Structure 1
Amino acid sequence: MVYIENLVKRDFKPLKKSCEKLRKVVKSGKKRYRDDDRRSGGRDRRNRDRGRSSYIEVQEQQPAEDSPEKRLTTLLIILGDKMTPKEITTNIDKVASILKSEYSKLETHVLKTIKNCFIELPMNFMELPMKSYIYGTLIGLVNVTRSDVGVKVVKMTSQTLQQCLNEGNWRGAKLSLKFFGELTNANVISPRTMLDVYDDLLTALDEQNLKMSRADTIVYIVLASLPYVATRLRERCPDVLESMLAKIERYFYARERTILDIDGSVVRKSIQPYVGPNVPYEQQDMLELLWTQIQNLKSNDWVCPNLLKPWSEYDGVLITADQHEVEKFVVPQEFGGMNNSLPTTSFRIFVGLDDESIKEHDVSDISYFIINDVVDDILDIMEVNRKDCAKYLKDLPYCFAPDTFIGKDTTVSAAKTDVKVESETKMETEEDSFPNNWTNDNPPSVDTTNTNQNITANFQLEQIIVEAIGILFDRVDIMDVECCYRFWNWFSHHLSNFSFIWNWKDWESSLQFDPLHPKVCFLRETFQKMVRYSYYERIKSTIPDEFSSIFPIEPSTSFKYEDSTHPLHDLAETLLGKIRKRASNEDVQAYFKEIVTALPPKEQDQTIRDIFVQCVLMQGCKSFSHVLNVIERYLPILQSLNESPEDKLHTVKIVAEFWKRNTQFLGILLDKLLNYRVIDASSIITWLFTKEMETEVSKSYMWEIMKNTINKVISRVKQVQYKLDTLINPRTDIIDITSDVDKKVNSEELRSLENTLSNVTREQKEVLLALVNLFVGMLDERLKEYIEQDIQDPMSQYWFWWAYGFFKEIGRCYQPQMSTFMVTLETVIIDPLDTKTNPIIANVIEMIKAFGRMKEASVVEDLS
């Protein structure tokens, strides 16, 4: 680590003569953080809708490598990296001196860099919210002699917070409040001003018929930022702070009553990661848990020993500085992107264990939230930069006070510092990152929370990950089914980064369980996923022979007419030869007419479809590009052979039979045929619920195909809706120079889009109705069998455990779409059921309705 102290020991006359060591680091290719090429070789995984042109535009705006701006940026970014508290204060002094002398020359760049460091905004490269305490103190020191800098920073932060509120960027709003808190600590703004900022936000709680989702979001960002500034507020304005907390407390009482009134317990129960009577801990609502943590912090006189407070070293200096006013903030009436319109539940790993060597975290302590929150920010903000995500997770102890983490063999050299840095972040970062990956509606890329932490990790961190995996495997049979699915997806990818090495013998005892037992299915699906990440023989060689019974068969094709004894072998070979020679569509159609007379009259169409689709798949089996070329060449024939729902269902079955030994290709081929409109979503959904597919209920490929198909249908609705909204409400900054003729064309386009939207919306409703109907029919039939067999608890049957679990996930995932036709759904599907005999199915529908009630719930009590 090249410390700032070493970088600036020469005279700063001006920036161009400083940081020679830093220049060598930059030229050597060692990136400090998000450099301009940070996305090379990949794609923007977090914001896929960002245009490439915008990215190139921002690239071009970046300062040159040897410019003063670039060197100052790097100084600010590395400030605090792997530094003890004493080193942090020393280097804050040095950088503050630089800013004071150079601010006039680089004002715009300094403000932009500071803004980028404390908050995450689209297209910024340097989001370091875990260092806000450093930047707050830095601005405080500069503000002592250069109050103009303080004014500009406060104004910039105010504008940023209001922008975040207007855009529904709630993470950004939280980080802005957090930075305001650090500016309060550094005496840049007064504690009373900080409380006024909070009051501006909490004024929304006084609204009549306040939406609970709106209130939850505002209360969350206030409480999340409060621990960082609470000590100052208690010292200077205790009465105002107490009044604010009393208002929040009144909201929590009203919130709980509202949840009871709408039967919100149904929602809370449905989103818990662990299910059944033997859960390892009490699964709490995260917002309520945060309120409990804040109350405990208050009981502890607002002292949070885990937070670094470099500003406290300068109290005597900072008190002499000018304080600045903050503009009044307004929370828009209509805003999107709520933090979460539904309650979220804690997901913990290292709890309820017999191992005395593992110390359980006290979740009621505010430090549990603070560390969790920082880890969550790092994972989300740095998802596009895996290497630096790992770096900041591994170096997390340096962002907190010494002794925050329990460590081994990590004492910093006594020659370097007089402070011991305990740097084992293991249990905290692992326990905080797993929920991000498994319980979010839109989890981060699977390799973000996996590769980032592990590739650069030390041996101890690897060991704690192994321990976490073992604990989760032991609990897999009490997990929600969706969590199981995400677990084996994550685990297989984790192994792909470590040469697929694992001590499988530890889990050999699980093979004695039922083939549909969650542990057995976990192992089987993990092996299946591992094969996708490598090649078959390599994976097979790493798995002990004892697991051969659940190891997948080698991926291959299943060409129905390959056997020379098949009566249609010669016809298929001839057709395959024509396809290999790239015969025209006309030639192929002519060949159909030749062979049709040799086929049974009632099976002519089906047989021709079967032979042709099989031959197309056989010709394209070498790779995805091969099969796409063949499909595109013969697309007119494929479409002509698949005009009715029965035809399309038949084609889906043909593809499934051909690729039954390679489910990855199967999923991709069905997706491509769906894109080309050869088949439709209804045909895929119908196939998934055929009798022969019931044995596949615990296999991930089935549910991946199902979700991908539904997502495709929903995506079409969103795309058309977006086009229609854009046409109706074009950008206001573009001058309207269209002629009357153009406007007439736009009217025609408007009618066309409205018709298209009606069609795709109807398709979405039909597909989801069919999906629920098929799910209910399948589960109802199985429940009747259990009644005949005198099975009292259907959840004790693993087939039902999987099927019902995925049904519940479908209800959770697509509740927004299903809520638009709940009356139809209940009338057509639920009412005919005997819900007294089979209440468990109706529970899912009730869950969907409860989700809708929760999202629309209003708190009607007066909280003023």
Structure 2
Amino acid sequence: MVGGKRSRNFDEDDGYRDFRPRMPKRQRIPPVVQLCKEMMPDIRTLGESIKAFEEDIKFLSEAIANEFGNEEYFQEALFKTINAVVVEQPHKQPAIALLTMVVNAANPVAGKSILNYIFDKMQGWCTDSINSDLEVTSSETGPWNKIKLLLRFLSLLSPMVEEDELILLYQRLFDLSVNLNNLHSEKRNPLSEAIYCNTLLNIPYLFYFSRGNESLRGKVAELISNVESSYVVKHTNLSLIKEYNTNSPYESVQWVSAVLPNVKRVLANDMQQLFELFPDYSGMMKPQPGNQGFNDPLNLPSAEQLESFSGLDRGIGSIDGMWKVPRYSYRVYLPNQVGEFETVVPFTTYGGMLFEDIIIDIVESMEFNRKEVAKQVVTLDLFFKPGIFTEPGQSIAQLIALHEENPIITTYKIEDLAIEKILSMIFKLPTVSHPFAYFYTLLVEICQNSPKAIAPVFGRAFRYFFNSLDGLDLELKLRYLDWFSIQMSNFNFSWKWNEWEEESIKYHDTFYSPKVTFMRNLIRKELRLTSSRADVEESLTDEFKSYTDSSFVPRSDLVNYYQSFFKDFQVDPNFLKDNTMYFTQACFPFNELVQDVINYFHKQPLDRNVSELLTIFEEIQKTYGGIIVDFNKFVVTILLQALTFSGNRSLSHANKYIGDSQNDLAEIFTKLEIDQDSKERWIVEAIIRYWNNNSQNGYLIVDTCKNFELVSAKSILNFSFLEDRGRNWGLVDATSIESTFRTLTELSLRRDASVETFVFLFERLSEIASQTVKELGTAPDAAVIVPEDSGDITKLELSWKYESCLGFIKSILRKYADEYATSIDQLNALLKEKVSHEKTKEIVANWLSELQQL
């Protein structure tokens, strides 16, 4: 402004505008909103700082007691925050319960309101448990898991709640579990087991803040006695879901069998074990009237209402879904790996079972915040009594030395505990709750946060699985392969390969050795995960350099494949090059005509006329037909390899070329005198042989051909499991195995899918197993046993092949149980027809009988 007038330079009437930014007026945040922004994060992190814990309890309780009742906004924020912590981070429940009771002493209305909010949430989940329209998110653990966690929190509030009301909650849940269990006397009821185990696991929490309550002890003792006498544990042994086909390194324990003994032991001897587990917060407690009650009784659905939901197979949440099949303990860090001591709290103790339950809850319910999960699972020890675990990051060598010096010192490592429980979710059969990528990246995150402490823990797990490969389930071998390769790709492919050299040297030239197969597949997978081949090669010792040859079939087989097309013409191996079409090489007599086929596919679809292709092939047949063994096979191969070559830059390019040429191919194929099975086999073979150096690409492009109906799912499986002089690539090559599972999974998702292809694969694998056991000469009633340290490599190879084949049958029956369960009679008939070995029939027939329970 000049002299009270706007400067001419900024006079809008003259076409000028003031372009200075107009800043929005700063809005004043209401005090209650500001209070919540400051207080709620403190509630969510309560207990993470031991030094500040008492001060945090005092500050937060005073603020809540004073503020409660003034603003609805504050109350809603408080309720939602408490509920979120209770169901997502159950290890913090005692801290939140303590805070609630200190608030209750100062403001009983606030305490009562929190109590009833949690109770109402519990009632809501009870109602939702029979809601067939319930929609769950990826981080939803399920209504019954939520009920478990809310009951646990209410149990922690025992000093402020009427005893009989709490005991009644337990009694009603136990009665429901018994009623569900009794619906069918012989049949296992998954929901019954879930409620039974979850409710029992919560009982010790009644005494967290009520250590000297003799009245409560008597009522709990009676409660446990009643459920022990009325609940019949049904021991279910499903071999289909066992992690090991043979030679399990440990004896797994079923949750439903272990929970009651664990709870009884922790409550025995004046609860000494319990108080060694839970910290003592009595110094921060305030006297409680103990007269708070629930506004209404809990309205539980009846067993009859829940019957149709009790299989827990209707997508109602990740943890509830884990009870669909019997839940077993899972081990990775065994005592004999490190010395005569445990590094993970045993599952056969209440603490071991509780720690597993809490870690699974954190990992499953907070999938939306991987970084927070990575932090919480390795600091779990902060929320329990000091001294249960060793100092974080302590090495095994240090532990061995300390244990020798003082045999009663604790050897439990929080890192081992956390990693083992995450691995238990990756290696869970039959299903995994979240995409594998979540668990893999979570483990990477944990390691990146503390590499010196965690990397050795991973290393011990890698060794454990490698040493157990001979008996490990086929699906789990693939998961191990994925986890190992992803972990290595995130840490510069660094691994002590020399540890496995002895095994490699001993069985380097075998085809079916589980360990050599794993090493070969692992190195090939690592090469696919990097654009820098040198990074992988530099990490390998000389012994493993040969595994960097990523050929699907040996070069000699590839030469034989191309030679099989011709007579009176010799294929020059020097012209077989990766990612290049052999038939266009200068050495090939009519490479220019083959190039014309490629040029045709490079044209825009509207500029093509299939007669051009027909003319090219007519000229080839006229001039060079004399050197071609089977012209029909040659035409199919040229067409598919020309398309594969044209689209070899990326999968999307390949899809485009094949999609654009679908009609042209169909028209030419109608003019060839070939049966459908032969044509489809030649198509698959042409693509896989072109991509011999990267069979994963080959199988993905074969998938494209399947999507465009050029080949069937059955033809892909048939090709993968062809026998070639005793070698069966479908049993050992990871890309082929992944293709098989991918093919079957896609088929299972189709509403109109026929079970014919599933039955075909079962039949094919049964034939391979039967032929192999015949070659072994095993007695009909004897099990096939892989001989240890045998000098007879032929017998070893056949034994490994048999185990691989049987393992494949087990995996497909489990993974596609719904499809196979509809054809059990047909499968039993095929088994009887195709397999003469009685022991093999007995094993597979038992798996078939288990299908209805999956």
| TM-score, with length taken from structure 1 | 0.77
Measure, in 2, the Cα distance between the counterparts of 1:504 and 1:274: 25
- Write out per-residue CA displacement over residues 373-415 of structure 1, whole angstroms, 9 at most, x where no aligned residue: 12212222233433222111222222222112111579xxxxx
State the AA in 2 paired with 1:519: K
- Write out per-residue CA displacement over residues 725-749 of structure 1, whole angstroms, 9 at most, x where no aligned residue: xxxxxxxxxxxxxxxxxxxxxxxxx
Measure, in 2, the Cα distance between the counterparts of 1:454 and 1:253: 43
Measure, in 2, the Cα distance between the counterparts of 1:152 and 1:73: 20
Verify: 1:523 aligned to 2:493, yes or no: no
Once the two structures are superposed, the pairs formed by residues 387-536 of structure 1 within 5 Å of their partners are 387-407=371-391, 424-443=413-432, 444=434, 445-446=436-437, 447-514=440-507, 515=510, 516-535=512-531, 536=533
**Shift in CA distance, 182/539, structure 1 to aligned 2, threshold 3 Å:** same
CA apart distance, 1:547: 0.9
Larger Rg belongs to: 2
* Cα-Cα RMSD: 3.3
Report if the CA contact (8 A) 2:79-2:117 is conserved.
yes
State the AA in 1 paired with 2:810: K
**Shift in CA distance, 91/529, structure 1 to aligned 2, threshold 3 Å:** same
CA apart distance, 1:614: 0.8
Measure, in 2, the Cα distance between the counterparts of 1:640 and 1:132: 69
Verify: 1:305 aligned to 2:305, yes or no: no
Say which is worse superposed, 324-333 or 625-634, in terms of deviation: 324-333
**Shift in CA distance, 772/354, structure 1 to aligned 2, threshold 3 Å:** closer
**Residue in 2 that maps onto 1:753:** none
Of residues 337, 342, 345, the one that matches 2:325 is 342
SS in 1 for 2:633: helix
Verify: 1:159 aligned to 2:143, yes or no: no
Report if the CA contact (8 A) 2:641-2:686 is conserved.
yes
**Residue in 2 that maps onto 1:674:** 706
**Residue in 1 that maps onto 2:584:** 562
Once the two structures are superposed, the pairs formed by residues 322-401 of structure 1 within 5 Å of their partners are 322-325=292-295, 326-330=297-301, 332-335=306-309, 336-337=312-313, 338-353=321-336, 355-356=338-339, 358-359=341-342, 361-401=345-385
CA apart distance, 1:773: 0.8
**Shift in CA distance, 671/221, structure 1 to aligned 2, threshold 3 Å:** farther
- Write out per-residue CA displacement over residues 317-368 of structure 1, whole angstroms, 9 at most, x where no aligned residue: 2336633345332253321444423223322122241633753543321111
SS in 1 for 2:389: coil
Report if the CA contact (8 A) 1:616-1:627 is conserved.
yes
Measure, in 2, the Cα distance between the counterparts of 1:305 and 1:95: 26
CA apart distance, 1:188: 4.4
**Shift in CA distance, 151/241, structure 1 to aligned 2, threshold 3 Å:** closer
Of residues 236, 242, 253, the one that matches 1:272 is 242
Of residues 780, 783, 796, the one that matches 2:773 is 783
SS in 2 for 1:324: coil
**Residue in 1 that maps onto 2:25:** none
State the AA in 1 paired with 2:307: Q
**Shift in CA distance, 313/16, structure 1 to aligned 2, threshold 3 Å:** farther
CA apart distance, 1:118: 1.8
CA apart distance, 1:299: 2.8
State the AA in 2 paired with 1:287: V
SS in 2 for 1:245: helix
Report if the CA contact (8 A) 1:273-1:347 is conserved.
no
State the AA in 1 paired with 2:806: Y
State the AA in 1 paired with 2:260: W
State the AA in 2 paired with 1:778: I
**Residue in 1 that maps onto 2:398:** none
Verify: 1:200 aligned to 2:172, yes or no: yes
Of residues 113, 116, 120, the one that matches 2:84 is 116
Measure, in 2, the Cα distance between the counterparts of 1:478 and 1:825: 25
State the AA in 1 paired with 2:168: D
SS in 1 for 2:308: coil
State the AA in 1 paired with 2:118: V
Say which is worse superposed, 225-234 or 455-464, in terms of deviation: 225-234
**Residue in 2 that maps onto 1:174:** 145
SS in 1 for 2:274: coil
**Residue in 1 that maps onto 2:90:** 129
**Residue in 2 that maps onto 1:823:** 825
Verify: 1:626 aligned to 2:653, yes or no: yes
Of residues 635, 658, 663, the one that matches 2:662 is 635
SS in 1 for 2:697: helix
State the AA in 2 paired with 1:705: S
**Residue in 1 that maps onto 2:21:** none
Identity %: 17
**Residue in 1 that maps onto 2:695:** 663
Measure, in 2, the Cα distance between the counterparts of 1:495 and 1:111: 44
Measure, in 2, the Cα distance between the counterparts of 1:668 and 1:571: 28
CA apart distance, 1:253: 4.0
CA apart distance, 1:608: 2.8
- Write out per-residue CA displacement over residues 492-530 of structure 1, whole angstroms, 9 at most, x where no aligned residue: 111111111111112211112323322222221211221
5+ unaligned residues in a row in structure 1: which ranges? 1-13, 19-65, 120-126, 260-264, 411-420, 718-759, 856-864
**Shift in CA distance, 480/776, structure 1 to aligned 2, threshold 3 Å:** same
Of residues 191, 216, 231, the one that matches 2:193 is 216
CA apart distance, 1:15: 9.3
CA apart distance, 1:772: 0.6
- Write out per-residue CA displacement over residues 561-588 of structure 1, whole angstroms, 9 at most, x where no aligned residue: 1333334522221111222343547424
CA apart distance, 1:845: 3.1
Report if the CA contact (8 A) 1:575-1:612 is conserved.
yes
Verify: 1:843 aligned to 2:843, yes or no: yes
* Structure number with higher relative contact order (C-alpha < 8 Å, ≥ 6 residues apart): 1
CA apart distance, 1:831: 2.6
**Shift in CA distance, 519/241, structure 1 to aligned 2, threshold 3 Å:** same
Say which is worse superposed, 394-403 or 439-448, in terms of deviation: 439-448
State the AA in 1 paired with 2:840: I
CA apart distance, 1:706: 0.6
Report if the CA contact (8 A) 1:88-1:310 is conserved.
no
**Shift in CA distance, 438/513, structure 1 to aligned 2, threshold 3 Å:** farther
Say which is worse superposed, 639-648 or 218-227, in terms of deviation: 639-648
**Residue in 1 that maps onto 2:747:** 713
CA apart distance, 1:150: 2.9
Deviating above 6 A after TM superposition, structure 1's stretches of 4 or more consecutive aligned residues are 14-18, 788-792
**Shift in CA distance, 470/252, structure 1 to aligned 2, threshold 3 Å:** farther
